[in-house]
């Protein structure tokens, strides 16, 4: 599995049509649990290690990314696999959502 998607149920179905597996997360706790399972290979429900199946790119909606907060930013800055890609959810782009690029620009003080 090179790609995995976490987001709205409708988008999970759409991604499955093109061969990308995914899970719908309806709240912050579910989003964090699935994120940890994919990135760290640990399932909090069973308290057991699970294989990550070689996920290289994790696709998230902006809403899910917002729920993950600092945990997501720490993962991205750590430059580990899977790489994270954010896209708008069913409700469209979230206004005022800071991207990784915005965070980097803010940290180094350079705007190109």
Give the whole-angstrom CA distance, residue 12 versus residue 4: 10
The pTM of the whole model exceeds 0.85: no
The string of pLDDT tens digits covering residues 10-67 is 889 988 998 888 889 999 999 898 888 888 876 666 655 566 567 888 889 888 888 8
pLDDT (average), residues 91-104: 60
Structural domains of the chain ordered from first start: 3-108 (3.40.50.10580)
State the DSSP string of 43-81. ETTTTEE---TT--EEEEEHHHHHHHHHHHHHHHHTT-S
């Amino acid at each position: 599995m090179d790609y995995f998607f976490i987001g709205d149920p409708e988008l999970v179905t759409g991604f499955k049509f093109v061969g990308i597996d995914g899970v719908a997360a309806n709240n912050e706790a579910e989003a964090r649990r699935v994120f940890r399972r994919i990135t760290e290979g640990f399932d909090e429900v069973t308290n057991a290690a699970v294989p990550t199946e070689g996920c290289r790119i994790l696709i998230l909606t902006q809403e899910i990314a917002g729920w993950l907060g600092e945990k997501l930013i720490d993962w991205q800055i750590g430059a580990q696999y899977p790489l994270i890609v954010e896209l708008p959810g069913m409700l469209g782009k979230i206004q005022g959502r800071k991207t990784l690029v915005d965070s980097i620009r803010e940290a180094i003080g350079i705007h190109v």
